[in-house]
Structure 1
Amino acid sequence: MLRRILFIYLPSTLLAVLVGLLTLPVVSVLLSWLQFDGEAASILSQMLQTVLPDYVWTSLLLCLFVAFGVAAVGMATASAVTLFEFPGRRTFEWALLLPLAMPAYVVAYAYTDFLQYGGPLQSWLRTAFGLQGRLLPEVRSLGGAVLVFTVALYPYVYLLARTALSERAVHLMEAARLLGAPLSRRIREVALPLARPAVAAGVALALMETLADFGVVSYFGIQTFTAGIYKAWLSMDNRMAAAQLATVLLIFVAVLLRIEHSAQRRMRFAGARGGRAGAADAAPVQLQGARALAAWLVCALPIALGFVLPVLFMLRPLILGWDNLLWDNFISWTINSFWLASLSAVLATALALSLAFAVRRQPNLLNRAAIQLASLGYAVPGAVIVVGLLLPVGWLQAAAPQTGAGYWITATVLGIVWAYLVRFSAVALQTIQSGYSRIPASFDDSARMLGTTGAGLLARVHWPLLQRSVAVAGLLVFVDVMKELPATLVLRPFNSDTLAVVTYQLARDERLGEAALPALALVLVGLLPVALLSRTLRAK
């Protein structure tokens, strides 16, 4: 009897504890409003009269233009490689994913170094043509940020739109051609409606990344919610203002998450019938001459702007400042980054495997709801997670100073790893759940009939079939942690800078030659999941 009670209730209790740890930051931010008093009301009133309208307006404008940019670029490139045949199409299929390896803040640093007033391009133009003054628009502006986010984040739309189009569009466009519809009408009335849910989901993901960004908006001096949260907490030392701004940012993210979930459901509905059936019987439209050149340029330009040119721009200061590179420090930064990323990847993967196994064994409504709560972390910006972790630490410190909670969260790896788990466990969880979806439930029934239950079921039946999914989950978390900037910037232990942090700090100090080395190291690490994703797409 005792064994049965432990078997039923202990996993449920453990699941509740794990989900509680992952959702604590969001709950803490929401609970901060329970402390809403006269002082908090005064702070909110001051923000409404000063900075809050600026944050709202700038964030909305940035999201609006980025949404248009990633939708246009992602849809155009996905349509080109899916619906048409032209020279280089198969290379573009995987090369269009390369900007995923570039952190947006690295792209921002690269373009700023090359295009700013004292950069090589404007200096050469003034020397070669005898021109004076500024010859190009200011890179550090809202328009510059829109360009950076567009070329860095369009692969979200490209990937989902390409999947949606490849399932049915080619076959249906061939049917429309046989009915006499011209090419323009086939694209407008067949391809675009099929891809619309995928584009909406991709745009929502891109906008969540935009709202979560700190490196680009801070470097460009753009007043968004993320920059405001850090300014309120670090510069003004006002945790209530930071919490209020974090709540508003959470509302933005919740709206985007709702849009993304709704679009995902429509994608599944659209693809539920027909699938890829018949797609192989209809070949893409063959393009020649000017049309082929146009399709080639549509695909080549985003790759050049989002990957090739930023890499070349960062190589220039790297080569020029080769003798001044901080090699000893670089080794230390790399070790710190790899150590934190490896530890977080192992813990996040183990946590995700535990959660996925709990739901697999008892797929009741409560467990599924717990999994959905745990999956929200990836949509929560790093700035909100930082505020959500430090708020309860402050409350605990005020109530019981002898606990030393502030020390454990801010001076050790505990706080930063906790933030990583909140932010990236959802990535590992989705990957492992995808692996579980390919394991028939009959395997579990057969194992139970043979007397294998509990941990034995996981070790002897699930684990051999999940090893690839677990490895992929660990890799994705590892790379995400390597590139994470906002949470790392605040919660990292003393004297343990990472590649992402020093890249930001050196670029902020206008030492782009020294920033190039850690920035390019991050790009190399980011190529790992891109290569894995490209291989997966080619195998389909």
Structure 2
Amino acid sequence: MCMPASRTRWLLAALIIAAVALAPVLSLAWAGAQVRTDLWQHLLASVLPRAATNTLLVLGGVGALVAVIGTGCAWLVTAYDFPGRRLLSWALLLPLAVPTYIVAYAYLDLLHPLGPVQGALRWVLGHDSPRDWRLPDIRHLAGCIVLLALVLYPYVYLTTRALFATQAASLLEAGRSLGAGPVAVFFRVALPLARPAIAVGVVLVLLETLNDIGASEFLGVQTLTVAIYTTWVTRSDLAGAAQIALSMLVIVLALVALERFARRRQRYETTLRPRPMQAQRLRGGRAVLALGLGSVPVLAGFAAPAGYLMWEAWQRLRSDGASAQLLHALGNTLMIALLTTAAALLLAVVVCWAVRRNARSRSELLAGIANRSASLGYAIPGTVMAIGLLLPLGGLDRMLSDLLISFGGQARLVLMGTLWVLVLACTLRFLAVAIGSIEAGMSRIPPSLDAASAALGEGPLATLGRVHLPLLRPSLAAAALLVFVDTMKELPATLVLRPMNFETLATWLYAEAARGTYEEGALAALLIVLAGLLPVIALARAGGQPAAGQVPAPPRAGQ
């Protein structure tokens, strides 16, 4: 039996999108097959040992810290009731609004020997000069780990809090009836049940950590991501950058495999409907202590850097106003974000509609593979995505240049160094965010509506446009918001692929921090933070739980 032509066309379109999304990975694999012994010897001798060691140490340290902070905060606001608990439960999400490179940028100035924190401490201690007394420099591995953890712990907090909130109270009560105290119940009952959720959150954090470039470079830690960027931009060594990116891709695949393994175990069956746990009421000093402990990550991960940025931005606006270059960078950022959002929504609708059209058919598996492949970009760090695109686009540019010469034109770059390459990279990077949101919304539309539309003589395209898209407006709006904000914050891919003399808010901030002119970048940083607050507020209004199938909004994809 032949497949209907319309179904074939939608499946073919989804497969083409998946092939484009896989192009960076395939190009890196091809580059890895073209092994140059001398190049690998150089990388193994001078680049990879230090960068790989730092990367693994950062991953291990950040993973351990976010597991402790995220799990502890999730248990605190779920198992206990105290004044301010409801406010704290959504305030713990606020660090999601601040990219890691902005937190590093803010703390470098806040904790500078001549900055406000050390100046106040010297005044209290009776010292006059930084030569007499100063705090340890945060520009080292430990400082990088702590700052990244303070920003990224909400990923673990979200997944673990959702599991704690739905745990059966009978299991915890059984532990207490056997004589276990609150600490024993947590470690022997609640924590083992929450391990899969913690693992999923930690893996998301580690993927975001791998994507970070700004914080690591600002703090003087050479990770694999920083090594990729410096190898390409500073040394113009695309082959070397590709080999380092391929090494980094191995770590990404291992993390994705770990996340899949954790999700497989995140199922518990019971014959009775579980009764959610009841929060234990705290009073007096214990309530104050609980509120204080829960507020520390919010203050350190959001309030301190955001307050600093607001103050510096106000000082800058009051004295000199917003510079024309910054306004131009804001316009560039909005343009890239809007183009990326439109492209991601269009491609996501095509992929999700192809999956729905081919459900319960012989091509269902192929449509599912296309869906998964198109969503792969979210797990790939921005620098790896950029280097993976440079290889095939460079080859295509050479072909187009030869074609121009054959027609009497001049040799020139047609694709590389244009705005559209950056839009393509951001679209592939955040396509999974749009697919997750639209797929979740489409799953709630009953198939009977499709059948009714077909019975009335409507084709697949008309059914999509007149039935599904109106019902998908909330999911489309959520996807648009997440992709727009993630693109505004994207730093690694933008640094590598932006056209000459093209600045976004993220690259403007990066350049100002590299020059040490922190007051110049505060306004750009504040604008990025304000944009990042939008999905966090939406998530808090939804009760802190992402919609089914929706990818949590990071960086924070742009760190």
Please name the residue that 1:204 is paired with: 203
- AA partner of residue 443 (structure 2): S
Please name the residue that 2:453 is paired with: 447
Higher relative contact order structure (alpha carbons within 8 Å, sequence separation ≥ 6) = 2
Which of 314, 318, 327 is the equivalent residue of 1:331? Answer: 327
Q: Is structure 2 residue 287 aligned with structure 1 residue 292? A: yes
Please name the residue that 1:390 is paired with: 390
Give the distance between the partners of 2:221 and 2:261, measured in 1 at CA: 31
Structure 1 residues 43 and 141, CA gap change in structure 2 (3 angstroms): same
- AA partner of residue 307 (structure 1): F
**For the Cα contact (< 8 Å) 2:394–2:416, is it kept in 1?**
no
Q: Is structure 2 residue 275 aligned with structure 1 residue 278? A: yes
**For the Cα contact (< 8 Å) 1:211–1:226, is it kept in 2?**
yes
Give the distance between the partners of 1:489 and 1:537, measured in 2 at CA: 35
**What secondary structure does 1:452 align onto?**
coil
- AA partner of residue 370 (structure 1): A
Please name the residue that 1:368 is paired with: 368
Equivalent positions of 1:176-195 (< 5 A) are 176-195=175-194
CA distances 1:103-128 after superposition (whole Å, capped 9, x unpaired): 11110011110102222222333355
**For the Cα contact (< 8 Å) 1:348–1:428, is it kept in 2?**
yes
Alpha-carbon distance, 1:460 to partner = 2.6
Give the distance between the partners of 1:161 and 1:406, measured in 2 at CA: 53
Alpha-carbon distance, 1:15 to partner = 1.6
Alpha-carbon distance, 1:137 to partner = 1.3
Q: Is structure 2 residue 466 aligned with structure 1 residue 471? A: no
Give the distance between the partners of 1:274 and 1:171, measured in 2 at CA: 13
Please name the residue that 2:127 is paired with: 130
CA distances 1:269-302 after superposition (whole Å, capped 9, x unpaired): 13x54797422xx521112233322321221000
Structure 1 residues 400 and 470, CA gap change in structure 2 (3 angstroms): closer
Structure 1 residues 336 and 402, CA gap change in structure 2 (3 angstroms): same
Please name the residue that 2:42 is paired with: 46
Alpha-carbon distance, 1:134 to partner = 5.0
Q: Is structure 2 residue 537 aligned with structure 1 residue 531? A: yes
- AA partner of residue 357 (structure 1): W
Please name the residue that 1:431 is paired with: 437
Give the distance between the partners of 1:160 and 1:347, measured in 2 at CA: 29
Alpha-carbon distance, 1:130 to partner = 1.9
- AA partner of residue 207 (structure 1): L
**For the Cα contact (< 8 Å) 1:215–1:504, is it kept in 2?**
yes
After TM superposition, the structure 1 stretch with the greater mean CA deviation from structure 2, 488-497 or 209-218, is 488-497
Please name the residue that 2:296 is paired with: 301
Kindly tell me the number of residue pairs found equivalent between the two proteins: 532
- AA partner of residue 240 (structure 1): A
- AA partner of residue 391 (structure 2): L
Q: Is structure 2 residue 381 aligned with structure 1 residue 381? A: yes
Which of 79, 91, 94 is the equivalent residue of 1:95? Answer: 91
Please name the residue that 1:460 is paired with: 466
Aligned Cα root-mean-square deviation (Å): 2.2
Please name the residue that 1:165 is paired with: 164
Structure 1 residues 116 and 355, CA gap change in structure 2 (3 angstroms): same
Give the distance between the partners of 1:10 and 1:166, measured in 2 at CA: 44
Alpha-carbon distance, 1:492 to partner = 1.8
Alpha-carbon distance, 1:436 to partner = 1.8
**For the Cα contact (< 8 Å) 1:168–1:275, is it kept in 2?**
no
Which of 72, 76, 81 is the equivalent residue of 2:72? Answer: 76
Give the distance between the partners of 2:484 and 2:86, measured in 1 at CA: 29
**What secondary structure does 1:494 align onto?**
coil
CA distances 1:198-243 after superposition (whole Å, capped 9, x unpaired): 1111010001000111111111221100000011111111111111
- AA partner of residue 265 (structure 1): R
- AA partner of residue 91 (structure 1): L
Give the distance between the partners of 2:393 and 2:370, measured in 1 at CA: 24
Q: Percent identity?
A: 39
Give the distance between the partners of 1:393 and 1:283, measured in 2 at CA: 57
More helix by share: 1
Structure 1 residues 119 and 217, CA gap change in structure 2 (3 angstroms): same
**What secondary structure does 2:195 align onto?**
helix
Please name the residue that 1:249 is paired with: 248
Equivalent positions of 1:107-126 (< 5 A) are 107-126=103-122
Alpha-carbon distance, 1:68 to partner = 0.7
Structure 1 residue ranges (4+ consecutive) displaced by more than 6 angstroms after TM superposition:
none
After TM superposition, the structure 1 stretch with the greater mean CA deviation from structure 2, 392-401 or 288-297, is 392-401
CA distances 1:9-41 after superposition (whole Å, capped 9, x unpaired): 3222212211111111111111112322xxx21
Q: Is structure 2 residue 501 aligned with structure 1 residue 506? A: no
- AA partner of residue 278 (structure 1): R
Give the distance between the partners of 2:155 and 2:545, measured in 1 at CA: 19
- AA partner of residue 402 (structure 1): D
CA distances 1:246-270 after superposition (whole Å, capped 9, x unpaired): 0110011111111112222322x13
After TM superposition, the structure 1 stretch with the greater mean CA deviation from structure 2, 309-318 or 214-223, is 309-318
Give the distance between the partners of 2:87 and 2:272, measured in 1 at CA: 25
**What secondary structure does 2:153 align onto?**
helix
Please name the residue that 1:34 is paired with: 33
**What secondary structure does 1:409 align onto?**
coil
- AA partner of residue 286 (structure 2): R
After TM superposition, the structure 1 stretch with the greater mean CA deviation from structure 2, 422-431 or 285-294, is 285-294
Please name the residue that 1:497 is paired with: 503
Equivalent positions of 1:230-241 (< 5 A) are 230-241=229-240
Give the distance between the partners of 1:119 and 1:469, measured in 2 at CA: 45
TM-score (norm 2): 0.90
Please name the residue that 1:482 is paired with: 488
CA distances 1:284-331 after superposition (whole Å, capped 9, x unpaired): 111223332232122100000010001122234334444234432232
Alpha-carbon distance, 1:483 to partner = 0.2
Structure 1 residues 453 and 187, CA gap change in structure 2 (3 angstroms): same
Structure 1 residues 384 and 275, CA gap change in structure 2 (3 angstroms): farther
Give the distance between the partners of 1:437 and 1:519, measured in 2 at CA: 38
Any unmatched runs of 5+ in structure 1?
A: none
Q: Is structure 2 residue 518 aligned with structure 1 residue 522? A: no
Any unmatched runs of 5+ in structure 2?
A: 405-410, 547-559
Give the distance between the partners of 2:366 and 2:210, measured in 1 at CA: 31
Please name the residue that 2:555 is paired with: none
After TM superposition, the structure 1 stretch with the greater mean CA deviation from structure 2, 462-471 or 162-171, is 162-171
**What secondary structure does 1:516 align onto?**
helix
Give the distance between the partners of 1:477 and 1:376, measured in 2 at CA: 15
Give the distance between the partners of 1:161 and 1:459, measured in 2 at CA: 38
Give the distance between the partners of 1:171 and 1:102, measured in 2 at CA: 39
